[in-house]
Amino acid sequence: MWRNVLVTAASRRVALVEAFKRAVAPSGGSVIVTDVNPLSPAVYAANRAYRVPLASDPTYYDEVLRIAVAEQVSLVVPTIDDELPGFADAREQFMAEGISVAVSPFLTTLICNDKFATCETLRDSGVAAAATYLPDQLPEKVRFPLFVKPRLGRGGVGAFMIRHQRDLEFFVDYVPEAVVQEYLDGPEFTIDMLCDFSGRPLSIVPRERVVIRAGVIDRGRTVNDQRLIDLAAKCARALRFAGAINIQCRVVDGRPVVFEINPRFSGGIPLTIEAGADFPRMLVDLAAGRSVKPSIGEFRDDVWMTNYETALFLDGSRVVLDAFRPHRIAEVA
């Protein structure tokens, strides 16, 4: 029997929570979220919300599991890079309670959290990926411009374009655990891909990132480009995925080249859903044991998204007590 969905680290992912609410509505299901902050907007979009410790806390995964069991959850959807290896490692514990976790295998999450390992793995498998170096492995002659970025970073934080040797020497020391990557000069795309729990791609939707703000798409459009779809399929053969994945690439001289993979929902997933590739509904169907046929390339082309900020206004006396229950499972009613 189908039950509920739990979205972790919900934060600002209101659109994703709303999409899952639509997906479970026909079966009368609810969407529960977890977060560390009672002022996170998605807390107020969900049917119920729970405070949990940070993903780095040793009790985090046990806490989420207890909430999931108490709330009769059938599907857990992790959303941030930091928690993916932990959920992959704990997946069997969730499965023992009849709960599916939309997370890629442990090794895949480790590789994708490491920009150097990601590009090396792809290149070894014959997938076009950016040349990426550790600082002590740089060739004697390098071609500028380059990018220096954190090996384990995300969201474009700490990434710097490098145009001169003196800048390279400074930033490989300034950026913690730096990697050096070739500069890819061309339009940037994110490819949203959904895989079933055996790693088979079900849907692939490329999106051009026309305007990017704080590492997330601000304006963009869907692009039904077979080159990008084929690239995503090759990535799925090089690494085993499950659930939502987003592949970041640039098209250089007509050839798409990967520079990063995030095995989770992307910030631009509302555009993909609006274009007709309803990843949340497909995940709900998979977790319910229903058959989901591949629909590669079946989405509306040239659908544009332009984002804007909005706000929630809350009565301060209700922020913690009504909207955000304490994380102690004994208090679940």
CATH of residue 177? 3.30.1490
Residue 249 forms part of a structural domain = yes
DSSP state of 137: G
Q: Do 160 and 223 lie in a common domain?
A: no
Confidence of residue 320 (pLDDT cuts 50, 70, 90): low
Confidence of residue 2 (pLDDT cuts 50, 70, 90): low
> E strands along the chain, which residues?
4-7, 31-35, 48-51, 73-77, 100-101, 132-133, 146-150, 160-162, 178-182, 188-195, 201-213, 216-222, 243-252, 255-262, 304-306
pLDDT above 70: residue 183: yes
Averaged over 59-88, what is the pLDDT? 97
Is residue 38 within 8 Å of residue 51, measured between CB atoms? Answer: yes
Residue 46 forms part of a structural domain = yes
Q: Do 302 and 327 lie in a common domain?
A: no
Confidence of residue 157 (pLDDT cuts 50, 70, 90): confident
Alpha helices in the chain (DSSP H): 14-24, 41-45, 60-70, 84-95, 106-112, 115-124, 165-174, 226-238, 269-274, 279-287
Least confident segment among 74-83, 157-166, 212-221: 212-221
Q: Which tokens is 234 given?
A: 């090759």
Residue 281 forms part of a structural domain = yes
Is 32 exposed, middle or buried, given 0-12, 13-18 or 19+ CB atoms closer than 10 A? buried
CA distance 55 to 53: 6
At 174 the pLDDT is: 95
Averaged over 218-235, what is the pLDDT? 97
- Dihedral Cα 17, 20, 21, 23, nearest 10 deg: 170
Least confident segment among 3-7, 152-156, 245-249: 152-156
Averaged over 50-54, what is the pLDDT? 93
Q: Do 87 and 148 lie in a common domain?
A: no
Residue 150 forms part of a structural domain = yes
At 309 the pLDDT is: 85
Please give the residue that has the higher pLDDT: either 57 or 312: 57
Q: Do 297 and 191 lie in a common domain?
A: yes
At 326 the pLDDT is: 47
Q: Do 274 and 222 lie in a common domain?
A: yes
Q: Do 175 and 219 lie in a common domain?
A: no
Q: Do 199 and 220 lie in a common domain?
A: yes
At 217 the pLDDT is: 77
Residue 293 forms part of a structural domain = yes
Residue 111 forms part of a structural domain = no
Q: Do 167 and 198 lie in a common domain?
A: no
- Please identify, among 182, 201, 224, the residue that sits at the C-terminal boundary of a domain: 182
Residue type for position 12: R
Residue 86 forms part of a structural domain = yes
Q: Do 232 and 301 lie in a common domain?
A: yes
Residue 268, domain CATH: 3.30.470.20
Q: Are strands 216-222 and 304-306 parallel, antiparallel or unpaired?
A: antiparallel
Q: Do 176 and 222 lie in a common domain?
A: no
Residue 291 forms part of a structural domain = yes
Q: Coil, helix or strand for 194?
A: strand
Rounded to 5°, the CA angle 293-301-294 comes to 10
Averaged over 111-138, what is the pLDDT? 97
Averaged over 130-159, what is the pLDDT? 88
Q: Over pLDDT 70: what percentage of the chain?
A: 93
Number of domains in the chain: 3
pLDDT above 50: residue 86: yes
**CB proximity list for 174: less than 8 A, separation 6 or greater:** none
pLDDT above 80: residue 155: no
Mean pLDDT in the chain? 92
Please give the residue that has the higher pLDDT: either 267 or 214: 267
Residue-number span of the structural domain to which 326 is assigned? 4-102+311-331
Please give the residue that has the higher pLDDT: either 217 or 294: 294
